[in-house]
Amino acid sequence: MSDNLLSFEPATGEELWRGPVSDIDAEVAAARAAWPDWASKAVTYRTESLRRFADRVKAEGEALADLIARETGKPLWEARTEVESVANKVDISVKAYAERTPNRRSEGAMGLRTAVRHKPHGVLAVLGPYNFPAHLPNGHIVPALIAGNTVVFKPSEKTPATGARLVELFHEAGVPADALRLVVGGPEAGKALAGHAGIDGLLFTGSVRAGIAINRQFANNPGKIVALEMGGNNPVVVWDTPDIRTAATLVVQSAFLSAGQRCSNARRLIVKQDLAEPLLQEVRALANRLIVDHPHADPAPYMGPVIDNEAADGLTESFLILMSNGGQVIRHMTRPDPDRPFLTPGIIDVTAMPERPDIELFGPLLQVVRVNSFEAAIAEANNTAFGLSASLIGGSPQLYDQFWANVRAGVINWNKPTNGASSSAPFGGVGLSGNHRPSAFYAADYCAYPVASSESDAIRASIGVGLRDDPADAPKLVRKGFL
């Protein structure tokens, strides 16, 4: 086995970065040793360190965006929005920590006080994904550090360069080197870190297969916190709207932003039967206009490649399987360069398929289902074990109320895409999409635990019932026949 991990640019195949595989025991031990000192710092000290990190990100923004674009293949304009989210996360997390984990005291009789305060867990492991290699792990790391945890971070083996640079920026800002440790390695390193006895919890963003494995791994250890965000088979429903062109734009944004490599991308378009033809005509026309090219191309592309050839091969095979099982092609998914993982948007009508696969096809592939009633649309939206995001386009306020009340998802939108969630709100799903520990603004909830205290300045105690009389009263009890 090689002692180095390599990263390659999806758009060109060129080597971008290489680094030595980490000693996980050593990294966890370093974070463990650093924890008491970091946790004892005032929260103002920790937040100021992280604000300096945000300043470093802004100062290095263009270089970091270029690195993200090269390593993921996403367009440079989109990488810049990711960098902006990384910097903005600090102030959002400071506000969330104050709002979600405040200190509370109440005064009672005779000087009694009741207090609620929060403690960090200890050493938290963070496993990051490749699609947002800076923003998504940063969404765990920042609130974990603010709360007083130390962190051992393993980026995806497909995007280690971005992860390594992110950690460097924290250290350059004054976050102690041992308060945030980097683990470089492949899937086996991730399994070893997740199962390490020296961590107090795991914060994970990634595939449902890996998330379920992690959930099983921690099933017999309830003392460790586990937060899982595992993607979705997300529906976008189009209903009763005269503005077909705008509806089509929202569908395309939902399905094909980031080359379909967002956990919140729409995988299924559920459309009212009598709207289907005009809507699909507009969706297909707009998809035909999307530029698919390398990250720095001019004009700027809407989509870059998917992460690697293996992912592109899997998506192409999935499209062919849907075709061979009754799917009707609306727009063929094509591979412009057989040697690189560029894919054009694929759209396929699966209404007539007797069984539709309930999997997350992580790429620019949209399945279409036509229905005749709104109740059928809701039933189809819920025809999945996932439950991350869902969106209704069109309809009335009453229909949206019905949609919101009955669709099972953690993010439910109206006349907006399924993706592009705000960091100032919670983000997470139900079912196979998560374990009811939403991230973003609610990440503070799983980075510290509440401690309730009853406190008094003076010692006071009495037992008012169920005691024998004082032994000094024994002669009296003997005379009365009790002893």
CA distances 195 to 97, 149, 190, 443, Å, are 28, 18, 9, 22
CA distances 1 to 12, 79, 175, 186, 374, Å, are 25, 32, 33, 11, 55
Q: How far is CA 226 from the centre of its chain?
A: 13
- Name the maximum alpha-carbon separation found in the chain: 107
Instruction: With respect to residue 480, please indicate whether it lies within any of the assigned structural domains.
Output: no
CATH number at residue 196: 3.40.605.10
Domain match, 280 and 327 both: yes
Closest by Cα among 353, 303, 301 to 323:
353
- Summary count for the chain: helices (H), strands (E): 15, 19
Domain match, 191 and 260 both: no
Domain match, 169 and 278 both: no
Inter-residue contact 455 to 113 (CB < 8 Å): yes
Domain match, 207 and 244 both: no
CA atoms lying within 13 Å on the CB side of residue 394? 22
Closest by Cα among 343, 346, 340 to 309:
340
**What are 211-256's pLDDT values in tens digits?**
999 999 999 999 999 999 999 999 999 999 999 999 999 999 999 9
Closest by Cα among 131, 100, 133 to 116:
100
Domain match, 102 and 166 both: yes
pTM: predicted TM-score of the whole model, two decimal places: 0.95
What is the sign, positive or negative, of the torsion defined by CA atoms of 238, 244, 250, 255? Answer: positive
Instruction: With respect to residue 430, please indicate whether it lies within any of the assigned structural domains.
Output: no
CATH number at residue 348: 3.40.309.10
Instruction: With respect to residue 460, please indicate whether it lies within any of the assigned structural domains.
Output: no
Closest by Cα among 418, 415, 401, 404 to 239:
415
C-alpha span between 470 and 104 (Å, rounded): 41
- pLDDT, residue 109, reads 82
Looking at residue 258, its amino acid is S
CA atoms lying within 13 Å on the CB side of residue 387? 18
Based on the number of CB atoms within 10 Å of its own CB, is 331 exposed (0-12), middle (13-18) or buried (19 or more)? middle
Domain match, 241 and 175 both: no
CA distances 414 to 261, 419, 421, Å, are 22, 12, 13
Number of domains present in the structure of the chain: 2
Three-state SS at 252: helix
Instruction: With respect to residue 473, please indicate whether it lies within any of the assigned structural domains.
Output: no
End-to-end CA distance of the chain: 82
Which residue reads 């609610």 in tokens? 442
C-alpha span between 274 and 241 (Å, rounded): 11
Q: Is 263 a catalytic residue?
A: yes
Based on the number of CB atoms within 10 Å of its own CB, is 215 exposed (0-12), middle (13-18) or buried (19 or more)? middle
C-alpha span between 270 and 407 (Å, rounded): 13
C-alpha span between 165 and 25 (Å, rounded): 22
In the set 71, 78, 229, 380, the catalytic residue is 229
In the set 263, 282, 360, 447, the catalytic residue is 263
Domain match, 412 and 358 both: yes
Domain match, 385 and 250 both: yes
Beta strand residue intervals within 178-265, DSSP E: 180-182, 201-205, 225-229, 234-239
Domain match, 186 and 42 both: yes
Domain match, 289 and 416 both: yes
Inter-residue contact 176 to 34 (CB < 8 Å): yes
Instruction: With respect to residue 437, please indicate whether it lies within any of the assigned structural domains.
Output: no
| Other C-beta atoms lying within 10 Å of the C-beta of residue 110 | 8
C-alpha span between 133 and 261 (Å, rounded): 12
Instruction: With respect to residue 447, please indicate whether it lies within any of the assigned structural domains.
Output: yes
Q: Is 229 a catalytic residue?
A: yes
Which residues of the chain carry a pLDDT beneath 70?
Answer: 1-2, 473-483
C-alpha span between 349 and 269 (Å, rounded): 9
C-alpha span between 234 and 265 (Å, rounded): 7
Domain match, 177 and 256 both: no
**What are 258-288's pLDDT values in tens digits?**
999 999 999 999 999 999 999 999 999 999 9
- pLDDT, residue 159, reads 98
Q: How far is CA 295 from the centre of its chain?
A: 24
Instruction: With respect to residue 461, please indicate whether it lies within any of the assigned structural domains.
Output: no
> Which residues form the domain of 280?
234-422
Domain match, 247 and 155 both: no
Closest by Cα among 385, 384, 403 to 393:
403
Instruction: With respect to residue 462, please indicate whether it lies within any of the assigned structural domains.
Output: no
